[in-house]
Structure 1
């Protein structure tokens, strides 16, 4: 029995060492770049939401929660890069490892939950226009956001196991009924958090696009903007969440069949796609711009150079055309044109 346990422990350690030093050194540099871009970007977005856009007055509470989720991710990137540089797939320190896993998967769950909520809101506003939109009611209550975070905790806690990140499930340790059930539950939670929201997202997108095609006159502008919102969420899902779920399913299959040579390759693909999934902290601001033109205008007037400011403010990202924005006042003094933002609507 002791020999079996030692073999299990050694297998766990081996599974969590990097199979290729070069691959993980490259991935560590990718995460360093993500951190260097993500930290100032998300700090600037946070500044706009709090001090310029005043999210609590502009019904953007869900967007603000996505920013908070992205900060959880950005905070983990330096430590994750450090471990990859030292040829470890996770921290050997149990507390650090569990904290990292908790924050990473809480970010993933929160980002998916609030992005899907935005898509459902657009779906009801377009497809079921005139009916009572429960999402619109929820947006006015900050308590709902707190409830969503609390609801995510039971789904995130099962992933706080060191062997989960290394996909060390089913047959990789001394199997008991308890281990088998908990491993299965963790995998089910991981896939449900991605697959079901993606199905909902595809459904909302198809219905909104069909509505746009049937609309010949009237509110085509509103419909196009709704399409841009859901398509931007589809892009985030397609790049950040779906590929790593597919790779994990392949990795589980390879490990159950004990194809060691194939496993060494699939592990690197899976970890590479997980690093790619951290791009959501860089892509989410695009969703903010498509979702709320007020945020876009406030951000441009605060951080964009004066040369580009007027041109960007006039460009409607939902339409691909130039329009006159209602969020700025233009004051002319001599040969200078000064654009003053109006944040509150």
Structure 2
């Protein structure tokens, strides 16, 4: 009883401080590297989508929303790194802390939501070709993106009620009923927004791969692209989201068991994997390239030097050649010729 009371007392004082200053110092520099690499990358991607690729004309609304989510995540990283460098897991200012958490979880949810939507689109186009595809209908309605962002708000607002990372969570303090409900809802959202999309993603991947095996050679180019899209999303999930989810579950277990020493280690692992999850702002451009060859070509012709342009534009990346696309699908050939990439702006 005394141990639990002591932990509860310390929870409001010590748990928001970094358990190991050197570890968090290293994590802060990792976030700085992510910011230095992610800011110009995402700014360049935004430039391509708006000025070269004209995403509103090419049914790439969902891709553009992922770019926006990644950019908003990147701009939050310097503040997070600053706190880590000063030995704090979060800002001591309540408004700054809640705003930062809100932004991080909102953009995380948006990135996951739009990535899964892209995977579902490829799934319906390949496995249920010819049937009415509700995702394709949504892509033609730009307003639906606003609706998706608004739907994410109720799932993100609980992070502002009490700080999620350290000050009030299950097993830490004796809570009122309302606080307990808030904490429970927050944990459920944290886990379900990763686990349910990952299950959907694995299902889509398996079905698309099975479809690829049954198709003839002349039809495989489009299917290979679909496989690359969903596999790239699987890679993003496996590197960025699943590890921190598992670490969160382990952390909660140690906390509920009042294993303070083990919890201090688990906290460092969890925070480290959360920092790793921010790498998705660097990996998502790979998804854009696999989703839309027009975007890939636009990026290459805008930012790569001449000799490198030719090599990258002529590379097949195992997805089939341009000639295959022309011979198997005349409509696809027309799109290749009239792609915005050929326009000079």
State the TM-score, normalizing by the size of structure 1. Answer: 0.91
2:65 equivalent to 1:65: yes
Alignment partner, residue 29 of structure 1? 29
**TM-aligned CA deviation for residue 178 of structure 1:** 1.7
Alignment partner, residue 146 of structure 1? 146
Alignment partner, residue 195 of structure 1? 195
The question of whether the paired residues in 2 share the 8 Å contact of 1:119 and 1:229 is answered with: yes
2:251 and 2:73 map into 1 onto residues whose CA distance is 24
Alignment partner, residue 281 of structure 1? 281
Alignment partner, residue 264 of structure 2? 264
Superposition map of 1:148-187 within 5 A = 148-166=148-166, 168-187=168-187
The question of whether the paired residues in 1 share the 8 Å contact of 2:247 and 2:269 is answered with: yes
1:285 and 1:75 map into 2 onto residues whose CA distance is 17
Cα gap change, 1:172/1:254 in structure 2, threshold over 3 Å: closer, same or farther? same
Moved more, 214-223 or 115-124: 214-223
* 3-state SS, counterpart of residue 163 of structure 1: coil
1:103 and 1:263 map into 2 onto residues whose CA distance is 26
* 3-state SS, counterpart of residue 17 of structure 2: coil
Superposition map of 1:197-212 within 5 A = 197-212=197-212
Alignment partner, residue 52 of structure 1? 52
Moved more, 304-313 or 46-55: 304-313
Please give the root-mean-square deviation of Cα atoms over the aligned residues, in Å: 2.1
* 3-state SS, counterpart of residue 219 of structure 1: helix
State the TM-score, normalizing by the size of structure 2. Answer: 0.91
Moved more, 11-20 or 204-213: 11-20
**TM-aligned CA deviation for residue 314 of structure 1:** 1.2
Q: Deviations over 1:165-190 (max 9, x none)?
A: 12742232232222221111110011
2:189 and 2:270 map into 1 onto residues whose CA distance is 18
Cα gap change, 1:306/1:15 in structure 2, threshold over 3 Å: closer, same or farther? same
Cα gap change, 1:300/1:315 in structure 2, threshold over 3 Å: closer, same or farther? same
Superposition map of 1:122-137 within 5 A = 122-137=122-137
- For structure 1, the 5+ residue unaligned runs are 330-339
The question of whether the paired residues in 2 share the 8 Å contact of 1:225 and 1:318 is answered with: no
1:341 and 1:140 map into 2 onto residues whose CA distance is 21
Alignment partner, residue 296 of structure 2? 296
- Greater strand proportion: 1
Alignment partner, residue 117 of structure 2? 117
How many residues matched? 330
- Greater helix proportion: 2
**TM-aligned CA deviation for residue 315 of structure 1:** 1.5
1:206 and 1:341 map into 2 onto residues whose CA distance is 32
Superposition map of 1:218-233 within 5 A = 218-233=218-233
Cα gap change, 1:211/1:328 in structure 2, threshold over 3 Å: closer, same or farther? closer
Alignment partner, residue 328 of structure 2? none
Cα gap change, 1:301/1:276 in structure 2, threshold over 3 Å: closer, same or farther? same
The question of whether the paired residues in 2 share the 8 Å contact of 1:126 and 1:211 is answered with: yes
1:260 and 1:195 map into 2 onto residues whose CA distance is 27
Cα gap change, 1:292/1:218 in structure 2, threshold over 3 Å: closer, same or farther? same
2:301 and 2:274 map into 1 onto residues whose CA distance is 34
* 3-state SS, counterpart of residue 57 of structure 2: coil
**TM-aligned CA deviation for residue 343 of structure 1:** 4.4
2:101 equivalent to 1:84: no
**TM-aligned CA deviation for residue 162 of structure 1:** 4.6
Q: Deviations over 1:52-94 (max 9, x none)?
A: 0000000000000000000111011000000000010000001
The question of whether the paired residues in 2 share the 8 Å contact of 1:94 and 1:162 is answered with: no
Cα gap change, 1:99/1:6 in structure 2, threshold over 3 Å: closer, same or farther? farther
Moved more, 292-301 or 217-226: 217-226
1:241 and 1:287 map into 2 onto residues whose CA distance is 16
- For structure 2, the 5+ residue unaligned runs are 326-332
Alignment partner, residue 334 of structure 1? none
2:211 and 2:263 map into 1 onto residues whose CA distance is 45
Alignment partner, residue 240 of structure 2? 240
